[in-house]
């Protein structure tokens, strides 16, 4: 199989990317039909961060970070580097030096389905990273792979130029062909939630405004007046 680096990719309109930053991962995921979540094993190193930008993908062999170094060269300001591996591994694939190099290129953050190290230094630098492990085990730099090839990261397809959004709730991918429709859906969802918040403030119950009583009835959920009534039902 040919190994390669694609140096230039199509990226979404920067204005649309900035609009997405008004929302969050959960909102966008729900708005686009509960699609696009990356696996829950990827956790943020920096809490309280939200990033959204085009994906540059790097596919490495587990325990070898050669293609991460190759990817640094093609990253542009605002990109998010998405790293996945062939074979399972928790090696420290990136550390302080790679992070500094990515920051110099203007990269927003990293999503990596592998391990990282130098966490203290990365936190001090304020650089957002989502990873599945923290582990000091080092890597080789001898095995070629792919940069800007279609990748599967934490169980979800990520294509070069797709939008990646990540925050404390997790990571969601917005396919580049769906950017406009997903953004519109996110706007509509937030507007709808405003009405829901008003109902809550007015003292309305979610079981009513979501019309859930009928579902409870269908599921044969029984209401008891109090604990005594419940205890009597057990004896009958």
* Binding positions for Mg(2+): 118
Tell me the β-bridge partners of 57: 82
Q: Let me know: does 106 contact 135? Beta carbons within 8 Å.
A: no
Where is the binding site for substrate, in residues?
95-98, 117
SS3 59: strand
What are φ and ψ of residue 174, in 5° steps? -110, 115
Give ∠ CA 151-45-88 in degrees, rounded to 5: 40
DSSP secondary-structure letter at 168?
T
Strands 43-44 and 129-134: antiparallel
Where is the binding site, in residues?
95-98, 117-118
What are φ and ψ of residue 231, in 5° steps? -65, -40
- The conformational region for residue 42 under phi > 0 = left, psi -120 to 50 = alpha, else beta, is beta
Q: Let me know: does 152 contact 129? Beta carbons within 8 Å.
A: no
């Amino acid at each position: 199989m040919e190994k390669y680096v694609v140096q230039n990719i199509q990226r979404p309109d920067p204005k649309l990317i900035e609009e997405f930053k008004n929302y969050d991962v959960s909102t966008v995921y729900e708005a686009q039909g509960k699609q696009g979540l990356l696996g829950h094993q990827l956790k943020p190193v920096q809490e309280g961060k939200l990033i959204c930008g085009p994906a540059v993908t790097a596919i490495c062999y587990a325990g070898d970070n050669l293609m991460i170094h190759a990817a640094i060269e093609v990253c542009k300001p605002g990109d998010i580097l998405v790293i996945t591996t062939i074979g399972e591994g928790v090696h420290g694939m990136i550390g302080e030096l790679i992070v500094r190099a990515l920051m110099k290129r203007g990269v927003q953050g990293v999503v990596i389905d592998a391990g990282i190290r130098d966490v203290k230094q990365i936190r001090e630098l304020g650089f957002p990273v989502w990873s599945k492990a923290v582990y000091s085990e080092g890597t080789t730099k001898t095995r070629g792979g792919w940069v800007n090839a279609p990748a599967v990261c934490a169980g979800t397809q990520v294509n070069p130029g797709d939008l990646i959004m990540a925050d404390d709730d997790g990571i969601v991918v917005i396919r580049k062909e769906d950017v406009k429709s997903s953004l519109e859906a996110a706007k509509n969802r937030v507007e709808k939630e405003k009405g829901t918040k008003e109902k809550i403030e007015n003292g309305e119950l979610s079981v009513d405004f979501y019309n859930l009583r009928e579902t409870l009835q269908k599921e044969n959920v029984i209401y008891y007046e109090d604990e005594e009534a419940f205890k009597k039902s057990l004896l009958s």
